[in-house]
Amino acid sequence: MNHFEWPVRVYYEDTDAGGVVYYANYLAYMERARTEWLRATGFENQRLMDEDGVVFAVRRASVEYLKPARLDDELTVHASVAQLKRASLLFKQEIRRGDELLCSGEILLVCVDTHTFRPTSIPNKIRDRIDRTG
């Protein structure tokens, strides 16, 4: 499941005084899509913490804002694994309103040990699932 799409509707709480989606909320939408991508691949954050002792932390985020989303817009958040390394995943993400690209970004996640908060290898069960579907 290398490419994933997640629908989002813009609510009043998502907008700023100008009536457009507040810039930080695009990052929240992207995170929701990555979380749901993980769930769709058969893994959940809480289970990974409990059973494997790992979490994914954002190491770097680069976002380009192209056009505003507005109240009640129906958006689709796209998430694709662009690169898989021993301890990290690079996601390419887009937020679209229909065919119109509103925002794009690259998000680098690092797999982190929950006890030491130091980078650690991505569990093989996740790596294998990404390799099979990517």
Instruction: Give the residue numbers annotated as catalytic, written as ranges.
Output: 16
| Phi and psi at residue 58, to the nearest 5° | -75, 125
Q: Determine the Cα–Cα distance for residues 93 and 6; give it in Å rounded to an integer.
A: 11
Report how far residue 36's alpha carbon sits from residue 4's, in angstroms, rounded to the nearest whole number.
9
Helix (H/G/I), strand (E/B), else coil: 67: coil
Residue in this structure with the two tokens 């694994």, named with its chain if needed: 81
Contact 57, 112 (CB under 8 A): yes
E-strand stretches of the chain: 3-9, 54-65, 74-84, 88-97, 100-113
